[in-house]
Structure 1
Amino acid sequence: MDAAVSSDVVRSYYDYIDAEAYDDVFALFAEDIVYERPGQPPLDGMAEFREFYLESRPLEDGEHVVEQMVIGDDTVAVRGRFSGEQDGERVSFGFSDFHQFDENGKITERTTYTDRDTV
């Protein structure tokens, strides 16, 4: 995958999440998306992924700051910080995300690591 395209897709993801532009977010991901995050079972497929973002995501009113991005053949790794609200409480924490792409330029796997128990 083209490095410029994959980095643009990943940067767009954070912009869309922060703007709560969820239809734009979903368009970046493959139908068979698998999303793993701390303290939670994996989300498997677009239906679970959509439900999480529209109904269950504990983070809101926040901003992601990307501090570093490393681009591989089919994976983009990101290190950054999130500041916002989690369950009504102000939070700020570091995160690392890994986005794996398919041959069509869609994200097929996403894994998040944080210094929080759950996100």
Structure 2
Amino acid sequence: MARADLAAVRDYYDAVDAEDYDTVLSLFADDVTYERPGQSTLSGIEQFREFYLDTRSLTDGRHEIDQLLADGDTVAVRGQFIGKQDGEEVTFGFADFHQFDEDGRIVKRWTYTDRDEV
């Protein structure tokens, strides 16, 4: 079984906030899936890349992490995002789950928020 990596998950949020998408994408497996309730599942690194480079509605923000928990191959994260969504100032809570594969890359990701889209 793969082991969850707290440092890689922290690196993910740091890279997203810095808009360092090369680093973001390097943390994920080629066959990554990303599920966000009420939205289409992203499947594969190319859809994931397109999301981050072209369609992600969150910008100019930062993630504040309140809690990170690792269990087996999964890291759970609770925090808040402060920034802009479609140009509007927003602050909202989120819960993310990152599942790692045998190579130590994130293969599945889930995001839950009180927003309709992220």
**Root-mean-square deviation (Å):** 0.9
Alpha-carbon distance, 1:117 to partner? 1.1
CA distance in 1, matches of 2:28, 2:76: 16
Structure 1 equivalent of residue 85 of structure 2: 86
Shift of 1:18: 0.1
Cα deviation for residue 39 of structure 1 reads 2.8
Percent identity of paired positions between Structure 1 and Structure 2 = 60
Tell me the CA shift for residue 38 of structure 1: 3.3
Q: Secondary structure at the match of 1:100?
A: strand
Alpha-carbon distance in 1 for matches of 2:66, 2:99: 19
Query: Hey, what's the Cα distance between the residues in 2 that align with 1:90 and 1:96?
Result: 20
Amino acid at match of 1:118: E
- What's the counterpart of residue 22 of structure 1? 21
Matched, 1:115 2:114: yes
Quote the residue 1:74 is aligned against.
Answer: 73
Rounded to whole Å, the distance in 2 between the matches of 1:39 and 1:50 is: 20
- Superposed, 1:31-70 pairs within 5 Å as 31-70=30-69
Q: Normalization by structure 2: what TM-score? A: 0.96
Q: Whole-Å Cα distance in 1 between the matches of residues 30 and 79 of structure 2?
A: 26
Deviation, structure 1 residue 40? 1.3
Q: Return 19-28 or 33-42, whichever deviates more.
A: 33-42
How far apart, CA to CA, are the structure 1 residues paired with 2:33 and 2:24?
Answer: 14
Aligned pair count?
Answer: 117
Give CA-to-partner distance per residue, 1:3-58, whole Å, 9 cap, x none: 5xx00000000000000000000000000000011331000000100000000000
**TM-score, structure 1 as length reference:** 0.95
Unpaired runs of 5+ residues, structure 1, are none
- SS at 2:51's partner residue? helix
> CA shift at 1:95, angstroms?
0.1
